[in-house]
Amino acid sequence: MPTRKRTQILGIQVDNVTYEEALSLVEQFIADGRPHLVVTVNPEFIILAREEPSFAQILNGADLALPDGQGLLWAARILGSPLTQRVTGVDTLIGISGLAAEKGYRLYLLGGAEGVAQAAAQQLRHRHPGLDIAGTHAGSPAPKDEDEMVGNIKRARPHILFVAYGAPQQEKWIARNLRDLGVPVAMGVGGAFDFASGRAKRAPVWVQRFGLEWLYRLGHEPWRWRRMLALPRFACLVLRARLGWSTLGKGNMA
């Protein structure tokens, strides 16, 4: 594997990769065959990780930490080691599906509300004819359901498992089961099935380009306001780190 270019933001490592590089790394993980964890970091993840060291440990142990949130690009610039671009979970899910249809990789979609993973699978197959989706299951991140779900996934033998339970449950679920699953790539994707299925509408490209997708999402899902309080908290912590008031914010490339 090539050396990773990483930026550290408030103690969390984020890979400085482009979308194309991310897809190419996923291919390398599949070729390698050993289990790999891919996470999609945003400011909310970083705030959660400060409160839960076990989540921070999972994120920093990931094989690939994608810069999903626009806030991370801003923070990395402020902290002196800019990230090249935003790489979102939903774009990566769609990109991997295209790659999978071309190369014959099998996918498995776990999580989301009842019927959403199935609807996302249908849309992805429509978009990429020939795509092999080995299974979908809404399930729950509760440990009591785990053995059965792990057994089902192992039998389906996917190359890539997407898990949509929201952070930090999805990353914890993967971390607990990754070795046993024997899946080369497992990735937490949050609300990506909602977007891929068409149940939730993505912000127009120009809104994304202005870095305002979070605001668009808040307008469509106002119940998110409480969670989004993480954004001003994140901004304050980054500015404090920039001023040298905290030891965790150095944007060093690792």
Distance CA 14, CA 102 (A): 28
Residue 167 makes contact with ligand UDP by CB under 6 A:
yes
Quick one: which segment of 24-32, 52-60, 80-88, 164-172 binds ligand UDP (CB under 6 A)?
A: 164-172
Q: Is the peptide bond before 168 cis (omega within 30 degrees of 0)?
A: yes
Residue with tokens 């990566």: 92
Residues within window 168-197 making contact with ligand UDP, judged by CB under 6 A: 190-191, 193-194
Residue 164 makes contact with ligand UDP by CB under 6 A:
yes
Distance CA 214, CA 225 (A): 10
Q: Pick between residue 35 and residue 89 the one whose CB is nearest to ligand UDP.
A: 89
Q: Pick between residue 63 and residue 171 the one whose CB is nearest to ligand UDP.
A: 171
Q: Pick between residue 6 and residue 217 the one whose CB is nearest to ligand UDP.
A: 217
> Of the candidates 60, 84, 122, 140, which one interacts with ligand UDP according to CB under 6 A?
140
Distance CA 74, CA 249 (A): 13
Quote the least distance from Cβ 164 to ligand UDP, whole Å. 5
Size of the site for ligand UDP (CB under 6 A): 13
Q: Pick between residue 81 and residue 136 the one whose CB is nearest to ligand UDP.
A: 136
Question: How many C-beta atoms lie closer than 10 Å to residue 236's C-beta?
Answer: 10
Residue 43 makes contact with ligand UDP by CB under 6 A:
no
Buried b (16+ CB within 10 A) or exposed e, 198-215: ebbebbeeeebeeeebbe
Quote the least distance from Cβ 78 to ligand UDP, whole Å. 23
Cβ pair 72, 43 in contact under 8 A: yes
Contacts of 78 (CB under 8 A, 6+ apart): 238, 239, 242, 251
> Of the candidates 82, 95, 98, 166, which one interacts with ligand UDP according to CB under 6 A?
166
Q: Which two tokens stand for residue 20?
A: 């194309």
Quote the least distance from Cβ 99 to ligand UDP, whole Å. 22
Strand ranges, E, within the chain: 6-9, 12-15, 36-41, 64-67, 106-111, 132-137, 160-164, 185-188
Residue 165 makes contact with ligand UDP by CB under 6 A:
yes
Strand ranges, E, within 90-227: 106-111, 132-137, 160-164, 185-188
Q: How far is CA 170 from CA 41, 163, 173, 196, in A?
A: 13, 6, 5, 18
Q: Pick between residue 95 and residue 191 the one whose CB is nearest to ligand UDP.
A: 191
Residue 229 makes contact with ligand UDP by CB under 6 A:
no
Residues within window 103-122 making contact with ligand UDP, judged by CB under 6 A: 111-113
Quick one: which segment of 15-23, 80-88, 159-167, 206-214 binds ligand UDP (CB under 6 A)?
A: 159-167
Quick one: which segment of 9-17, 151-159, 165-173, 203-211 binds ligand UDP (CB under 6 A)?
A: 165-173
Give residues in contact with ligand UDP (CB under 6 A): 111-113, 140-141, 164-167, 190-191, 193-194
